[in-house]
Structure 1
Amino acid sequence: MSETPAELLRTAVRHDGARPFLTFYDDATGERVELSTITFDNWVAKTAGFLTGGLGAETGERVALRLPAHWQALAWAAACWSAGVCVVLGSGGEGGSGGGDVQVTVAGPDDLAAAAGSAPEVVGLALRPLGGRFTEPLPPGVTDYAVEVPGYPDHFAPIFPPDDTEPALDRGGAVHTLGGLADHARQRAEQLGAGPGGRLLVATDDLGTALVDALLVPLVVGGSAVLVRHENPAGRAARVDAERVTVNVG
């Protein structure tokens, strides 16, 4: 049996829940958000509760993430995997609708119009600092994530924990299982030279890349990540030093 991403996150929380796990920068807006392991886990738990309790998603179903590389997108993916739900990404750089048969579509502010009506349930993420809600009315049938998710518990325990053979990530038609994702992340960590406790700087606007390099690899090595969207390359050297980066990706 292979470990699942949810089991890896549980291990990380037990080991040292207070340490920084994910630091997010958007150089286009100047935003910086730092989440400890336990804070990230709380977002994952609330999102998984919303996904299963509020949206009715069940093990084996599919959720399309039409989102950029953002810390909330990583929390959504981890929530799906905690519930045994398959994340669907398109072939486009910023995450797409993927194939058909999705029960939920999750979209960022730039994709709301196209996402409306694409699945039985559509959720909009404003992607504002501190997880803020939308300030403008949403299209009919679109639920504001930031309005709904705060009321869900900080802990999520599925009645039947998903098996490691459950489909977990459909990326352009290539499907990984929950256990396969953990195995793939270990191979990627070796490729990157990310050892135990490594801190990775991942500069990407591609969600699929971020899911592996900024979420799964840190989980398998017991490390952390600095995820940078819209990177200004001129600031990389200073950021590597300030954030104590040990592995520079991309």
Structure 2
Amino acid sequence: MADNIARVFADAIAPDPTRPLLTWYDDATGERTELSGATLANWVAKTANLLVDEVAVGPGDTAGVLLPPHWQTAAVLLGCWSAGLRVADTPGDVEVLFAAVARLAEADAWSAGERYVLALAPFALPMRQVPAGFADYVSEVRAHGDHFTPYAAGGEELVERARRRAGELGIARDDRVLVDTGVYPDPVDWLLAPLAAGASAVLCANLDPSRAEPRAATEKVTRALT
């Protein structure tokens, strides 16, 4: 049984890397982005390589993450865990900080060696104007390698939490889980619990209640968390 996040992620992809693993909707913008396991793994590997090769961090170091539920947030978090980093969401001293452009004011409370900003734009478009003191995550991460061998240590407690939450939320293997991210903003719920159960996720931001039922039918949802 997998005992770290990287192995949980690998096991979730293994049966069919081409199947949709994470589908993202934002009803405020009309955006829909679908990632197969292979595509998400590519983003995760690039993120881990960015951290190791450019930021020069590794096991025992800490990343600050000021990001809402989003498919790019999934890549950042899984990349951090693959590189053996701890993830913090409360202000402190960290080696690297990832912040959404909408939360830059909060970043002032953090001490970080390297800072990356995410616009979270549709199609992962790069930022036209990058705030001073930050690098654009999307622009920087694309230059890094598509393959990364994850560090094996760490994350056991998170894996146990994810498995426990999957049971509490009624998520089973091969489920297609629709998640209202406004109700379930914790990445243990919207990201790790489905992965730990061997399920795929349909993440919905700013969910329009009138769209939930037809979307569930279109996406062949078997479990809804709304």
**1:94 aligned partner:** none
SS in 2 for 1:119: strand
Are the equivalent residues in 1 in contact too, given 2:12–2:196 (CA < 8 A)?
Answer: no
Given that residues 198 and 223 in structure 1 are in contact (C-alpha distance below 8 angstroms), is that contact kept between their aligned partners in structure 2? yes
Tell me the CA shift for residue 31 of structure 1.
Answer: 0.4
In structure 2, the partner of 1:101 is: 93
Residue number in structure 1 paired with 2:207? 231
1:2 and 1:180 in contact (8 A); partners too: no
Q: Distance in 2 between matches of 1:99 and 1:221?
A: 31
For residues 206 and 76 of structure 1, do their structure 2 counterparts lie closer, same or farther at Cα, with a shift above 3 Å needed? farther
Q: How high is the TM-score relative to the length of structure 2? A: 0.93
Q: How far does residue 87 in structure 1 lie from its aligned partner after superposition?
A: 1.0
Taking the aligned partners of 1:13 and 1:193, their CA distance within structure 2 comes to 20
- Three-state SS of the structure 1 residue aligned to 2:202 is strand
Q: 1:113: how far off?
A: 4.5
For structure 2, list consecutive stretches of 5 or more residues without a partner in the other structure: none
Shifted more, 30-39 versus 55-64: the winner is 55-64
Matched residue type, 1:51: L
What is the number of residues matched between the two proteins?
225
CA contact (8 A) 1:105 1:121 kept: yes
Q: Which residue of 130, 147, 154 corresponds with 1:155?
A: 147
If the length of structure 1 is used for normalisation, what is the TM-score? 0.84
- When the two chains are superposed, the root-mean-square deviation of aligned CA atoms in Å is 1.8
Give 5+ residue unaligned stretches, structure 1. Answer: 90-97, 167-177
1:31-50 matched pairs, under 5 angstroms = 31-50=31-50
Compared CA separation, residues 114 and 191, structure 1 to 2 (3 A): closer
Which whole-Å deviations, capped at 9, do the CAs of 1:160-187 have from their partners, x for residues lacking one?
x241xx3xxxxxxxxxxx1111111111
Q: Deviations over 1:136-191 (max 9, x none)?
A: 2x222200111111111111114xx241xx3xxxxxxxxxxx11111111111111
Contact 1:9 / 1:219 at 8 angstroms: preserved in 2?
yes
Alignment of 1:114-193 (within 5 A): 114-115=106-107, 118-136=111-129, 138-158=130-150, 161-163=151-153, 166=154, 178-193=155-170
Return the offset for 1:59.
Answer: 0.9
